[in-house]
Amino acid sequence: MTKPNFKPLQNIQSSVPDIFTPAQVGRYELANRAVMAPLTRNRAGEGGVPRAMNVEYYRQRASAGLIITEGSPISAQGVGYPGTPGIYTSEQVAGWKRVTDAVHDEGGCIFLQLWHVGRISHPSLQPDGELPVAPSAIQPMGEAFTADGLKPFPTPRALETDEIADVVTQFRTAAENALEAGFDGVEVHAANGYLLDQFLRDGSNHRTDRYGGSLENRVRLLLEVTEAVVEVWGADRVGVRFSPVNGFNDIRDSAPDVTFPYAASRLNRFGLAYLHVVEASFVGEEHPRTFDKAKLRRVFKGAYMANGGYGHQTAETALAAGAADVIAFGTPFLANPDLVERFALGAALNEPDPETFYGGDERGDLDYPFLGDPVTAVTATAA
């Protein structure tokens, strides 16, 4: 059924776009170009099941041109943080169905982000206390967030070559589950130091089989996963996320200016809906590595989604210059459920509360006020 906030594929008149101009992204014409970026909240219920507060959180933000959910682990092996809503059990699928129904009732469009964390996990988060898996047995610097607090990352177990097909199957099954849950599409998470990013980058992938060594080999798993997901959804309802300069989760590559344009060019064979690019770094380098993001924009043939510290004016500038087709906003959408309306009216934005970003209850999740509502926006009963 066609939802009132977006329309099936059709031609859009050529003009200089702004945030409020409809945007063609794959199969859909989005009502505006403000995308809600994936934001981990660690507020799922027992068993990684989305609950009532998650339903209300996404419903509040349905005026975004597109919502991309927080990362949703594709399997028990893919879990790296407590309280993350999965997409690998029937209970999780039912919980997400409540979310998609609520967003659609408000006229919104919502994609699920498919997530496998790889080595960014801990045995206490893994089935039977097993080691996390990775392309190579290289211990990342840093600490895992566990139910018992921060603990050092262990040295992961390198996947055997014949195990990699099972990872692809995990993505395929999760994509099927997302379809059952009523999503409008899915995003393959290949960014921010998680499993697919670990395979892409030579700092974390030291394999000597057909999934390591050459750039052609390192991109192989991403292409196999994307193909499996596209077979479920159709390419025009699938996006992929990259983060070429982000060193988050101790990830690095000797030549990101070569690796990521190559990977983007290989993805073109699918005709994907969009490429979502985290253009900034989360780890606060004073002088982050320079990267020609315009090259990715030129190479990739689908819609280009820019992400990384954009505000209203910088987003408008990027859109008018043709540097991006849509802009993903993270924290601004978290703190402002009515962000698009605030942009349209030039209204002040709510101040985000970093102390409530991860975990907890409705505070910092459902109580950011809407315009004209100085008190609590909405409170949902946790379930």
Give the CA distances from residue 120 to residues 97, 175, 249, 354, 381, in Å, rounded to whole numbers and listed in that order. Answer: 28, 22, 7, 22, 32
Nearest to 248 by CA among 280, 219, 222, 220: 280
Structure token pair of residue 277: 């690019």
Give the CA distances from residue 273 to residues 28, 38, 70, 199, in Å, rounded to whole numbers and listed in that order. Answer: 9, 17, 19, 23
| DSSP-derived pairing of the beta strands 6-8 and 28-30 | antiparallel
Residue type at position 345? L
Structure token pair of residue 255: 């030549």
Report CA dihedral (33, 186, 48, 204) to the nearest 10 degrees. Answer: -100
Q: How crowded is residue 1: how many other Cβ atoms within 10 Å of its Cβ?
A: 3
Phi, psi of 244 (to 5 degrees): -60, -35
- The set of residues, in sequence order, having a beta carbon less than 8 Å from that of 367 and lying 6+ positions away, is 376, 377, 379
Nearest to 199 by CA among 238, 253, 240: 253
Give the CA distances from residue 370 to residues 197, 349, 350, in Å, rounded to whole numbers and listed in that order. Answer: 37, 10, 9
- C-alpha 74/C-alpha 79 separation (Å) is 8
Give the CA distances from residue 66 to residues 88, 91, 179, 191, 328, in Å, rounded to whole numbers and listed in that order. Answer: 23, 25, 17, 19, 9
Structure token pair of residue 216: 């052609």
- C-alpha 327/C-alpha 66 separation (Å) is 10
Task: Establish whether 194 is a catalytic residue.
Answer: yes
Do residues 352 and 334 lie in contact, with contact meaning Cβ atoms separated by under 8 Å?
A: yes
Active-site pick, 194, 211, 304, 368:
194
Give the single-character DSSP code of 346.
T
- C-alpha 256/C-alpha 262 separation (Å) is 9
> Annotated catalytic sites, by residue?
194
